[in-house]
């Protein structure tokens, strides 16, 4: 398909000439930046970046604490003034890429815009400074917010109730599997195995193993879907559950889900839903209506809570009635006009217990609730529709250039491969790095594992038509460049402060912290 915006990607280092014609388009170029050493390599004895209240003359620790347990200072700590610290992190940040920097189509991670109003709200003293052990009468607002969020998540997913406790998606998986185990144990047999499609995310098998289950991979079909036969073949009385991501990591809806659920249920197994891709279904369909017995949310993806640098996340788990008794603590309940947390196992004798300290990542609850509140029913539905529209638009703009391993309909993301580039020697990794020079964050690469050289593109609903067009134009330009000048693609990226980094070396001679004699070259 043609190039709707007529945007010209920039193949030389200096984007300027092109940029001039296309000034509106956030073209990549190079600008002034800074080398910045480690904190531990700067500063000078005696500097300080804080201003602390006086100690007063109340007691010398040595009179109470055994000398052997005391230290005068922590060796190696930097000594830097506030201005130097501000400059240090300001400069480090300038080497980074965030959603606020540009397009971030990292498949499976749903990198959508993180609303600024949510940040203002999470910082209100009434939220940020309330202690988890404060008397409930001092935290009614926090408890009501948790209650409303729990109700909304249960409704959105179509389940009876939701625990907000899990700290991230993977812990949500672990939690869900614990509930499944508890359910089976209550029926006299924990069972041994968990069925996991080959398209599944790595956390699925890892969470299963961590929960003492043996993982049985199930191959998905030519169409990228899981097929009833495959499940039927693998299903037996030792299978505790099947873990299904729907839509799956290929962005494909598991349309046989209902039948598969029947097969599993018929043998007494349960169906776990990995809800990381829930963004595709908001208001359009509910896992609870498809035969799933339990699923986790990834609030930090679907509900746009910031997780810079890798976290924090939040992985609430929603369940059907039969799993209610086993939910971890706490639960938030409403009693008349009051809200309280159920934390005493005596109230919930069958609970699997606690998954983390206190009540969950409350700061994320505030943000997720704020987004749900602003979107409302129509907005949630529209979110899924536009997320899917964007992925399908990208698919349409790229399918003639890149190999599409599965012709099946895509929902919120689409997976391509580097197959067409084989003759040029250019790989998925090279394409990813060259995209950086064009001013785009690369898609997720080499995942899912079932796809060789996968390029997994998830635009999310917060990106505009033009952005997707420019990204696809860059993708096509790279394919063209691969044919003419493969070495240029392989040399990428050339614009950031660092070229490709030697990952093998990092793993062979690990240097994982600063030491005075540290040398890396």
Ligand X SMILES: Cc1ncc(COP(=O)(O)O)c(C=O)c1O
Residues 104-133 that bind ligand X (CB under 6 A): 108
Distance in angstroms (rounded) separating the CA atoms of residues 412 and 271: 22
Distance in angstroms (rounded) separating the CA atoms of residues 428 and 425: 10
Nearer to ligand X, 169 or 442 (CB): 169
Nearer to a copy of itself, 32 or 67 (CB): 32
Interface residues with a copy of itself (CB under 8 A) are: 15-16, 19-20, 22-38, 41-42, 44, 47, 51, 81-84, 86-87, 90-91, 94-95, 99-102, 113, 115-116, 374, 436, 439, 462-466, 493, 495-497, 521
Of 255, 313, 245, the closest CA to residue 279 belongs to 245
Half-sphere exposure of 286 (CA within 13 A, CB side): 17
Distance in angstroms (rounded) separating the CA atoms of residues 91 and 93: 5
Question: What residues numbered 221-260 form the site for ligand X, per CB under 6 A?
Answer: 245, 249
Cα–Cα–Cα angle for 394, 398, 396, rounded to 5 degrees: 55
φ and ψ at residue 173, rounded to 5 degrees: -60, -50
Nearer to another protein, 115 or 268 (CB): 115
Look at the chain and count its residues: 521
Q: Give the distance from CA 200 to its chain's centroid.
A: 15
Question: 105 touches which of another protein, ligand X, a copy of itself, none (CB within 5 to 8 A by kind)?
Answer: none
Cβ 493 vs Cβ 440: under 8 Å: no
Nearer to another protein, 153 or 482 (CB): 153
Distance in angstroms (rounded) separating the CA atoms of residues 317 and 419: 38
Measured from the CB of residue 223, what is the shortest distance to another protein in angstroms?
A: 10
Question: What residues numbered 480-519 form the site for ligand X, per CB under 6 A?
Answer: none
Measured from the CB of residue 54, what is the shortest distance to a copy of itself in angstroms?
A: 13
Q: Is 203 in the site for ligand X (CB under 6 A)?
A: yes
Return the number of other C-beta atoms located less than 10 Å from residue 47's C-beta. 14
Measured from the CB of residue 389, what is the shortest distance to a copy of itself in angstroms?
A: 15
Cβ 340 vs Cβ 332: under 8 Å: yes
Any idea what DSSP says for residue 360?
S
Measured from the CB of residue 492, what is the shortest distance to a copy of itself in angstroms?
A: 12
**Which residue of 10, 274, 413, 461 would you call a contact of ligand X, by CB under 6 A?**
274
**Which residue of 88, 191, 193, 201 would you call a contact of ligand X, by CB under 6 A?**
201
Question: 274 touches which of another protein, ligand X, a copy of itself, none (CB within 5 to 8 A by kind)?
Answer: ligand X
Measured from the CB of residue 243, what is the shortest distance to a copy of itself in angstroms?
A: 33
Of 185, 170, 324, the closest CA to residue 243 belongs to 170
Question: What residues numbered 153-172 form the site for ligand X, per CB under 6 A?
Answer: 168-170
Cβ 23 vs Cβ 10: under 8 Å: no
Q: Which residues bind ligand X (CB under 6 A)?
A: 108, 168-170, 201, 203, 245, 249, 274, 276, 298, 313, 315
């Amino acid at each position: 398909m043609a190039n709707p915006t007529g945007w010209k990607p920039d193949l030389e280092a200096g984007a300027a000439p092109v940029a001039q014609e296309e000034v509106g388009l956030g073209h990549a170029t190079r600008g002034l930046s800074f080398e910045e050493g480690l904190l531990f390599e700067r500063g000078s004895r005696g500097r300080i970046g804080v201003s602390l209240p006086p100690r007063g003359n109340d007691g010398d620790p040595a009179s109470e604490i055994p000398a052997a347990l005391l230290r005068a200072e922590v060796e190696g700590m930097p000594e830097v003034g506030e201005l130097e610290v501000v400059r240090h992190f300001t400069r480090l940040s300038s080497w980074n890429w965030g959603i606020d920097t540009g397009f971030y189509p990292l498949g499976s991670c749903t990198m959508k815009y993180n609303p600024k109003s949510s940040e203002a709200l999470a910082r209100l003293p009434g939220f940020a400074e309330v202690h988890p052990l404060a008397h409930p009468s001092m935290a009614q607002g926090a408890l009501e917010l948790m209650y409303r969020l729990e109700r909304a998540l249960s409704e959105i997913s179509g389940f009876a109730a939701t625990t907000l406790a899990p700290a991230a998606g993977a812990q949500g998986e672990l939690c869900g599997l614990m509930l499944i185990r508890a359910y089976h144990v209550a029926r006299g047999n924990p069972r041994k195995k968990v069925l996991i499609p080959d398209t599944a995310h790595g956390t699925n098998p890892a969470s299963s193993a961590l929960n003492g289950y043996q993982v049985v991979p199930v191959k998905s079909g030519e169409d990228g879907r899981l097929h009833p036969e495959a499940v039927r073949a693998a299903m037996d009385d030792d299978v505790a559950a099947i873990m299904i991501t729907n839509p799956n990591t290929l962005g494909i809806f598991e349309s046989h889900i209902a039948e598969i659920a029947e097969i599993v249920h018929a043998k007494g197994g349960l169906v776990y839903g990995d809800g990381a891709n829930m963004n595709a279904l908001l208001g359009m369909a509910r896992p609870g209506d498809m035969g799933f017995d339990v699923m986790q949310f990834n609030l930090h993806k679907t509900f746009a809570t910031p997780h810079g640098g890798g976290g924090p996340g939040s992985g609430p788990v929603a369940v059907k009635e039969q799993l209610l008794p086993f939910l971890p603590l706490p639960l938030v309940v409403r009693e008349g006009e009051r809200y309280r947390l159920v934390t005493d196992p005596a109230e919930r004798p069958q609970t699997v217990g606690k998954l983390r300290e206190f009540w969950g990542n409350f700061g994320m609850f505030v943000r997720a609730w704020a987004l749900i509140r602003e979107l409302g029913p129509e907005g949630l539905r529209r979110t899924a529709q536009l997320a899917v529209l964007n992925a399908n638009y990208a698919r349409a703009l790229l399918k003639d250039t890149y190999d599409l391993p599965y012709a099946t309909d895509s929902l919120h993301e689409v997976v391509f491969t580097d197959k067409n580039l084989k003759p040029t020697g250019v790989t998925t990794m090279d394409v990813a790095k060259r995209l950086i020079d064009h001013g785009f964050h690369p898609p997720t690469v080499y995942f899912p594992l079932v796809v060789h050289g996968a390029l997994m593109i998830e635009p999310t609903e917060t990106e505009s038509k033009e952005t997707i067009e420019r990204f696809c134009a860059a993708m096509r330009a790279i394919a063209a460049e691969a044919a003419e000048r493969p070495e240029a693609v392989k040399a990428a990226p050339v614009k950031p402060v660092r070229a490709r980094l030697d990952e093998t070396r990092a793993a062979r001679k690990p240097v994982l912290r600063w030491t005075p004699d540290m040398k890396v070259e």
